[in-house]
């Protein structure tokens, strides 16, 4: 029920009886509490079809353009379109944990097999189902390509639209999913049925939705991948913000792609959006909720996110974040313009983008930067189109809070901009060796499309193995994992026997950087960091004091160097000297009885010889 209906009901109750009635108390969540949005009129409003159109979408038909259809109705509409147009084909590419088919809409003039010479735009909506603008925009655009004179968009480009990626989350729908977002009035839920955030799963590939997405990626190799979201966070004038790793010439794993996006894509895209009445902006994040002018950051997005993965995998990837305080209709229309313009740009300039993809795919950096963290100091300043605000003392929070006023500040803000820097530099080995008994990890590498050589018989290989120094187990769960971090490692040269089915993962391949980020235990995006190799943290076997004590005494008598080392430690560390068990453990670690596999990371590096 909306506010108007509630008010009408209250009036009806008041007038229909002679008894004095208390009007129903509106709960805080049924009242408007979001800051106002500036009035918006844009040329793109002309894209909305009338209710009388047989192909009107549910979004368009809604009088307030504040509605997005559910999973079943969306699929019915696309099936009807598929039956009516040769340009449309539905392709199921996965099944969700709750059993819903996950599908893409292939929009092409090529028939069953897409012409590999044509660039492919992959537009994905609903990885966060409450942020569903891409579905409603995609339905309109696909319909207009099929019936309303826009089929020419397909002459040189193919479009693949995923209307809803997180289909289960999409159906956990209600009016109370996204408190910071202005519509649609019924929204899906951010996480999946298994309470996972799919936009954290681009590297570890835990979830069926993401495994399915990855196989779709590998099948169609999109030239441009657009992941469509809606923001949270601060207010500003921009309605369509978007970004990519390497924007504005900052460091990227795919510099040639970033350059194409900076120099070719962005100026043309922004011009097109502005011509249709939209206000495009860069994807940035305020660093202080209480002080909007404190500065902006790039968000430090790693490889678990779409744009981080895209940069590492050399897949041009744009993260759209439409602004949550702008009405749903304004955001949907901006997304339509974005997608249509992206198709035109791929048609005109897609050849140059392919060259950039090839150039980046050929990179084999000797050092791979990882574990990006926010800079302490701003690196540059950005002009920013701000919204006026005031502050007030909130009796609820007990501090000063921001009140956004919904009016554009005519003066541009100059805001300090905080970038990110690598917290870890990794050397590129020739290859990695993954033992056969970690078939689960091998399977994930294969899903990524990483090329591997499997052993058909056991083989002893000279490798560098890593002994983990004091790994730390996280105290809270994250994305269904208990994460483990390790700051330092000790290298050990070993001849190690790898069983049949073990794989060699060469780093001399386009996905070499990605393999390094996944397989180095210190990388914060690695399988190890997600807690997927916890078995190395358990030490097995022990020695009784009655056995180790005489053995230790004999070691002291036989080895003067060891004796000197022990005595120095006793003198330097009184706590150690006062702990009999610690003293005996010190000797045990120096015997061949000690568990050699303890803290020995089972994935090995092959180095150049």
Report the interface residues with Zn ion, using CB under 5 A.
128, 131, 229
Distance between CA atoms of residues 462 and 470, nearest Å: 25
Q: How far is the CB of 187 from Zn ion (least distance, A)?
A: 12
- Other CB atoms within a 10 A radius of the CB of residue 28 amount to 7
Distance between CA atoms of residues 98 and 101, nearest Å: 9
Q: How far is the CB of 336 from Zn ion (least distance, A)?
A: 19
232 CB burial (10 A radius; 0-12, 13-18, 19+): middle
Distance between CA atoms of residues 293 and 256, nearest Å: 33
Q: How far is the CB of 319 from Zn ion (least distance, A)?
A: 9
Tell me whether residue 197 or residue 522 sits nearer to Zn ion (CB atom).
Answer: 197
Tell me whether residue 198 or residue 387 sits nearer to Zn ion (CB atom).
Answer: 198
Distance of CA 30 to the CA centre of its chain: 32
Tell me whether residue 94 or residue 126 sits nearer to Zn ion (CB atom).
Answer: 126
Tell me whether residue 60 or residue 133 sits nearer to Zn ion (CB atom).
Answer: 133
Report the residue count for the chain: 609
Q: How far is the CB of 131 from Zn ion (least distance, A)?
A: 5
Q: How far is the CB of 227 from Zn ion (least distance, A)?
A: 8
Q: How far is the CB of 53 from Zn ion (least distance, A)?
A: 31
Q: How far is the CB of 321 from Zn ion (least distance, A)?
A: 7
Spatial CB neighbours of 380, under 8 Å, sequence gap ≥ 6: 416, 417, 419
Tell me whether residue 180 or residue 460 sits nearer to Zn ion (CB atom).
Answer: 180
Distance between CA atoms of residues 539 and 589, nearest Å: 11
Query: Is residue 511 classed as helix, strand or coil in its secondary structure?
Result: coil
Spatial CB neighbours of 200, under 8 Å, sequence gap ≥ 6: 304, 305, 479
Strands (DSSP E) found in 174-251: 224-230, 240-243
Tell me whether residue 141 or residue 283 sits nearer to Zn ion (CB atom).
Answer: 283
Tell me whether residue 62 or residue 131 sits nearer to Zn ion (CB atom).
Answer: 131
Tell me whether residue 128 or residue 217 sits nearer to Zn ion (CB atom).
Answer: 128
Of 477, 475, 482, 593, residue with least CA distance to 528? 482
Tell me whether residue 190 or residue 266 sits nearer to Zn ion (CB atom).
Answer: 190
- Other CB atoms within a 10 A radius of the CB of residue 166 amount to 30
Q: How far is the CB of 420 from Zn ion (least distance, A)?
A: 19
Q: How far is the CB of 125 from Zn ion (least distance, A)?
A: 11
Q: How far is the CB of 165 from Zn ion (least distance, A)?
A: 11
Tell me whether residue 49 or residue 128 sits nearer to Zn ion (CB atom).
Answer: 128
Q: Are 94 and 211 in contact (CB under 8 A)?
A: yes
Q: Are 436 and 502 in contact (CB under 8 A)?
A: yes
Q: How far is the CB of 197 from Zn ion (least distance, A)?
A: 9
- Other CB atoms within a 10 A radius of the CB of residue 162 amount to 26
Q: Which residue has the tokens 């019936």?
A: 147
Spatial CB neighbours of 535, under 8 Å, sequence gap ≥ 6: none
Distance between CA atoms of residues 505 and 516, nearest Å: 10
Distance between CA atoms of residues 27 and 30, nearest Å: 5
Tell me whether residue 305 or residue 530 sits nearer to Zn ion (CB atom).
Answer: 305
């Amino acid at each position: 029920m909306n506010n108007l209906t509630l008010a009408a009901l209250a009036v009806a109750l008041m007038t229909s009886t002679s008894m004095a009635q208390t009007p129903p108390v509106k709960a805080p969540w049924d009242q408007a509490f979001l800051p106002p949005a500036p009035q918006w009129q844009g040329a793109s409003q002309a894209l909305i079809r009338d209710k009388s159109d047989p192909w009107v979408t549910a979004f368009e038909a809604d009088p307030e353009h504040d509605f997005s259809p559910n999973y079943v109705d969306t699929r019915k509409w696309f099936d009807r379109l598929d039956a009516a147009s040769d340009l449309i084909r539905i392709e199921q590419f996965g099944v969700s944990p709750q059993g819903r088919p996950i599908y893409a809409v292939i929009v092409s003039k090529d028939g069953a097999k897409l012409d590999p010479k044509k660039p492919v735009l992959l537009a994905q909506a609903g990885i966060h189902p409450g942020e569903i603008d891409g579905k409603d925009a995609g339905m309109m655009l696909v319909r207009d390509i099929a019936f309303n004179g826009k089929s020419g968009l397909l002459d040189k480009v193919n479009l693949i639209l995923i209307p809803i990626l997180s289909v289960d989350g999409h159906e956990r729908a209600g009016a109370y999913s996204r408190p910071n977002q202005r519509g649609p009035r019924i929204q899906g839920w951010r996480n999946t049925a298994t309470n996972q955030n799919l936009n954290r799963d681009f590297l570890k590939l835990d979830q069926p939705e993401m495994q399915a997405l990855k196989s779709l990626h590998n099948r169609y190799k999109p030239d441009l991948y657009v992941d469509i979201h809606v923001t949270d966070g601060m207010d500003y004038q921009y309605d369509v913000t978007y970004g990519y790793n390497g924007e504005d010439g900052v460091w990227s794993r795919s510099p040639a792609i970033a350059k194409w996006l900076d120099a070719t894509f962005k100026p043309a895209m922004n011009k097109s959006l502005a011509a249709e009445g939209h206000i495009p902006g860069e994807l940035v994040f305020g660093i202080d909720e209480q002080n909007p002018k404190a500065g902006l950051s790039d968000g430090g997005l790693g490889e678990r996110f779409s744009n981080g993965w895209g940069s590492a995998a050399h897949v041009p990837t744009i993260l759209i974040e439409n602004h949550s305080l702008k009405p749903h209709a304004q955001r949907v229309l901006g997304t339509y313009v974005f997608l249509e313009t992206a198709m035109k740009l791929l048609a005109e300039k897609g050849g140059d983008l392919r060259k950039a993809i090839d150039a980046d795919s050929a990179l084999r950096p000797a050092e791979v930067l990882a574990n990006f963290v926010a800079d302490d100091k701003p690196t540059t300043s950005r002009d920013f189109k701000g919204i006026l605000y005031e502050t007030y003392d909130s009796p609820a929070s007990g501090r000063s809070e921001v009140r956004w006023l919904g009016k554009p500040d005519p003066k541009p803000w100059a805001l300090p901009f905080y970038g990110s820097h690598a917290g870890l530099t990794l050397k590129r080995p020739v290859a990695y060796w993954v033992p056969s008994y970690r078939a689960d990890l091998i399977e994930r590498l294969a899903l990524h499309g990483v090329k591997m050589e499997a052993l058909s018989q056991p083989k002893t290989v000279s490798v560098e193995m890593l002994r983990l120094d004091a790994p730390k187990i996280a105290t809270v769960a994250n994305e269904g994992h208990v994460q483990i971090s390790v700051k330092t490692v000790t290298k050990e040269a070993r001849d190690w026997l790898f069983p049949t089915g073990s794989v060699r993962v060469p780093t001399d391949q386009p996905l070499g950087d990605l393999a390094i980020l996944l397989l180095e235990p210190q990388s914060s995006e690695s399988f190890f960091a997600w807690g997927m190799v916890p078995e190395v943290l358990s030490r097995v076997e022990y020695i009784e004091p009655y056995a180790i004590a005489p053995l230790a005494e004999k070691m002291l008598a036989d080895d003067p160097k060891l004796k000197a080392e022990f005595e120095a430690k006793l003198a330097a560390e009184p706590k150690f000297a006062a702990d009999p068990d610690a003293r005996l453990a010190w000797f045990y670690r120096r015997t061949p009885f000690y568990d050699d596999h303890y803290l020995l990371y089972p994935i090995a590096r092959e180095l150049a010889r």
